[in-house]
Chains A and B, each alone.
Chain A
Amino acid sequence: MGFDVFLPESEDELMTLLMRENAKIMAGGTDLLVRIRAGRINPDKIISLSKIQGMNEITDVGDRIRVGCRVTHSMALNSNVLKEHSPIMLMALKEIGSPQIRNRGTIVGNVVNASPAGDSLIPLYLSNAKVVIHGPKGERKLPIEEFIKGPGKTALSMGEFVRAVEFEKSGSWHPLFYKVGQRTAMAIAIASLGLLIKGDNLRIAFGSVAPTVVRAYKAERYFKRSNGIITVMDEFMERCLEYVSPIDDIRASAWYRKEVIKNLLKSAFDFWRKKVL
């Protein structure tokens, strides 16, 4: 163990440092430092973003919102742009960790960490997020589903970093978000479920029940075809569960995860039916 810490003050400096071997970027460090302590990764260079100017803004860009790579969960929770245009994001952020973790951890960090349990990923998947990547060849954008390749795996190449994430506004959609953890606060999701509903349009995403967060597109199309009225719950459920392939791990069994997703879906649509009627 033991590593050097670099504190670049400009993006250029950051880009140069990123060309070095075995370096890791640190934003809040809430995942990185834990993994280093546990010996799961062993970088010899840590490049901290703490001294870089900017990249800590939440901007309204027309029908989309842009969140810079230094925006912490706490900053996002206090953002009027998000309050107005992405209530689903706020619902998810409130479920993250403790005040200390929310003060350090960042949304982009959550994206790069690529955990299937990342709480802020559900709203990003539901809002068709694009990841803004900056690298030696300039800037490129990838849909989040292409960016996150598997647990802890992303499409980032050598020398690249994530400058921001952009996602659709969803203020006119009805948001629903459920997270099941081992306790109410400071818990990692065992299973989570997010929905955006507007008329006969539905978007639905699951967390912690597959190698990545997943959107249930078939279920979304089924909902559209049914004109937003689910008469046969089983048919809808079947289309959802196609995307659910949980594993047994230290927090819960696959059985429990699946069962919880089924129950939460039923309860979400009971709620929705009552609301629409």
Chain B
Amino acid sequence: MNTVENKKNVIGSKIKRVDAIPKVNGKAKFAADLYFDRMVYCYLVLARKGHGILKDIDVEKALDVPGVVGVYTYKDIPGENQLGEVVKDMPCLVSVGEKVRYYGDVVAVVAAETYEIAKEAAEKISLEIEELPAVLTIEKALEDKIRVHEPTNVPIHKKIRKGNVEDGFKHSDEIFEGEFYAHYQEQAYLEPQGIIVTPDIDYGFTVYGTMQCPYYVQNSVARVLATSLNRVRVIQTETGGAFGGKEDVPSYVASYAAVAAYNTGRPAKLIYDRETDIQTTSKRHPIKSHYRIGVSKEGKLRAVEIKAYMDMGAYATLSPIVMFRTLVHAAGSYDIPNVKVDVYGVYTNKIPPGAFRGFGSPQVLFAVEAMMDEISEKLSIDPIKLRLMNTLREGSRTATDHLLTESVGAVKTLENIREISNWEHLNKEVEAFNNTHQDKKRGIGVSHIFYGVSLGAAGQHLDASGSHVQINADGTVDVRIGGTEMGQGAKTVIAMIAAEELGQHIEKINVHQPDTAFVPDSGPTVASRTTVYSGNATRLAASELRQRLIDVFCNLTGALAENVQWGNGKFLDSLSGQEISFENLVEHAFRKNAKLNETGWYKTASLEWDAEKGIGEAYVTYSFASQIVVVEVNLNTGQTKVVKAYTSHDVGKALNPEGIIGQVQGGFVQGMGYALFEDLKFKNGQILTDNFNTYIIPTIHEIPEELIIDIVEEPFSRGPYGAKGIGEPSLMPTPAAIANAISRAIGKRIKRIPATPEYILKLIKED
């Protein structure tokens, strides 16, 4: 690994996950593990129709079931019957007389003494729905004849206008075009959605649950219950995976449970079964895109024109901000003088997609990288060379004309994969395989991506985070942040940062579950932003505390501040060699009534953005990655096996290299599932593949035997120790690299993901 030398304490070193043991031995408590006295269990009643008018809700039979405590509908909502963070188009519970807009629309919440009773009663509620013809495809939605919402099915349009594309095409030697489609993807977190809302004396309601964004949940519950923010406390439980699927969705889950808790006056627990989870919660957006790229005969990109349509489903939810990322990433990691991009958000009578690791970008990164592969093939330019010729460097301007002045590791990642894959040799090896095999063919796919870190210009009003660091009298340290641990390793990296700054041992640092009672609104845990935002906030607070400890140390020893070193649980005067343990020093500080708690607040400078032209500083910085994948396609069955993969990521600075490897392995496998297996199937707007017997995700047997991960470091001056994000960039290059590898293996261009065996076999058969 090419990581630069370690910082003086723990940053950059190999650390065991701080939350590993309770998660392995089962002591960690997830949402479903929590029980409260007099708790009721909830189950949801879904519309189960794609489009129509709700005429009547008959709850009689459900109320007759022994053990049912209540059935709650729109009439029982004390506050606003309104969910959604961005566009106010989604009811909490559909009202009689109003529209049902997709199969998973929630109509009522049943509360009962047991889960089984709640489920049985929910099945006994009958709904009268006057059906309307449903809009089930992007094409149908664009006709705008049947409307999901008034006044139009196409309410959102985002664009980039950089340079002059017509001019660019005129000065191009070759013009390439392509149509692509990327399907839905389900987040498939291990732990389904789950919330418990408990009436509380101190607060009004305390909410426990699996989530990424406690502050979103707090807002939503307060709105639906018509109460204030200081009457809703949200505590995140251990969270078994999220991948974006627990960004906005837990706000909805919590709102349903809150309606039950409010009306029963009892703690209300709502844990989704897998079918309810898949039928009603967000997915990756399907995107249809059309690309036109002009190049010089040497392979220099001159102009790109892109149109992309994304299926927002029945409600806009997070789509407007997802679209922003689609917009910015559509032209890839390349320096192109003339760019025109149009992204449209389209309503349909289907599940509303939302956030998913990559947030609208892998769909278009797959498309642009397929175009790059096509160009490389047709112009006979080595695929790595073509990308090196066009990629972003220091001094380049992105598609949105953002001038990059630092932390641009794109070239390094490309050079790195060429080296670690033994590129020339790998090509010969694949050629030799294909010469000796008839039924199976191998192909090599290359991809290269960039990824905007944090919320960017479209969400910068949320881009600030707090951290509260407190040193206790015994020398232990409590750290409270607003960013959540959902399996990605946030607690570990935050503990490392606190240990680095304070000099205390990492074992003495406890990073707590987020609790809105302790840390102010720190924005969402999304967009690969936690290391940068919560990390910087923690660093600010901890370094402030260290200054105070140094003062105490100097007072005690007579050392000069500039000679004081810290680490390994002690402070040291490098001149005299005198040292005091962290615990001892804290004891002295306490005796002097020193303030040993501090709040850090980190925000980034505001980004210049022209929304009309789509020009400006889209994100605070960008992560870069390059990947090479070798696949083997069975020509008899169309099945694809990923044989080898090499991937290189510019993370700015690897704070926790082990954690990064874990992220990249996970991202690779999830990207591979998206590229090959995960095919959400529908019938009349109802999802048919609503459990893992039919929704196929990769198992350990699908992981390539050779998955080589490497890191390059181009520090980001505003990141903690130079770090940028890795959570999402870990997935981004994979779908594109796999699709390109299949295209090379079969000699036909993959234009749709997932590239299922059936799709591949059809391509092979086509003339």
Contacts and interface: CB of A to CB of B under 8 A. Distances in A.
Interface of A: 1-2, 34, 98, 180, 182-188, 250-253, 256, 259-260, 263-264, 266-267, 270
Given A185-B700, A251-B694, A263-B637, 6 more contacts: A180-B639, A183-B677, A250-B688, A250-B689, A267-B439, A267-B636
19 contacts: A180-B637, A180-B757, A182-B756, A183-B698, A183-B701, A184-B702, A185-B701, A185-B702, A187-B696, A188-B693, A250-B681, A250-B689, A252-B758, A256-B757, A259-B765, A263-B637, A264-B636, A266-B636, A267-B636
Interface in B89-126: 116, 120
Contacts of B689: 250
A186 B636 contact: no
A186 B702 CA distance: 11
A183 B699 contact: yes
B580 interface: no
Contacts of A250: 681, 688-689, 694
A183 B636 contact: no
A105 B681 CA distance: 28
A100 to B, nearest CB: 12
In the A-B complex, the 10 residue pairs with the smallest Cβ-Cβ separation, listed nearest first, are: A263-B636, A185-B701, A182-B696, A256-B758, A184-B701, A185-B699, A180-B637, A250-B694, A267-B636, A260-B637
Contacts of B635: 263
Interface in B621-675: 635-639, 641
B146 interface: no
Contacts of A251: 694
B382 to A, nearest CB: 32
Contacts of B439: 267
A126 B681 CA distance: 35
Contacts of A2: 116
A185 B701 CA distance: 6
Contacts of B639: 180
A250 B679 CA distance: 10
Given A180-B637, A185-B699, A185-B701, A260 B693 contact: no
Given A253-B758, A260-B761, A184 B641 contact: yes
Contacts of A185: 699-702
Contact size class for B? 20 to 34
Contacts of A252: 757-758
B637 A183 contact: no
A146 B636 CA distance: 32
A255 B640 CA distance: 19
Contact of B637 (A1, A253, A264): A264
A260 B636 contact: yes
A182 B438 CA distance: 22
Contacts of A260: 636-637, 761
A180 B439 CA distance: 15
Contacts of A266: 636
A88 to B, nearest CB: 20
A29 to B, nearest CB: 15
Nearest to A262: B636
Contacts of A180: 637, 639, 757
A264 B639 CA distance: 13
Contacts of B765: 259
A182 B677 contact: yes
Nearest to B123: A39
Nearest to A251: B694
A183 B696 contact: yes
B699 A186 contact: yes
A177 B361 CA distance: 41
A252 B438 CA distance: 25
Nearest to A263: B636
A261 to B, nearest CB: 10
Nearest to B676: A183
A170 to B, nearest CB: 25
A240 to B, nearest CB: 15
Contacts of B696: 182-183, 187
A252 B702 CA distance: 20
Contacts of A98: 699
B674 to A, nearest CB: 13
A158 to B, nearest CB: 29
A182 B695 CA distance: 10
A182 to B, nearest CB: 4
Nearest to A268: B636
Nearest to A187: B696
Contacts of A267: 439, 636
A113 to B, nearest CB: 14
Nearest to B641: A184
B689 to A, nearest CB: 7
Of B120, B677, B701, chain A has the most CB atoms within 10 Å of the CB of B701
Nearest to B701: A185
Contact of A183 (B116, B702, B758): B702
A22 B702 CA distance: 41
A5 to B, nearest CB: 16
Interface string B698-733: 111110000000000000000000000000000000
A264 B637 CA distance: 8
Interface string B722-753: 00000000000000000000000000000000
B120 A256 contact: no
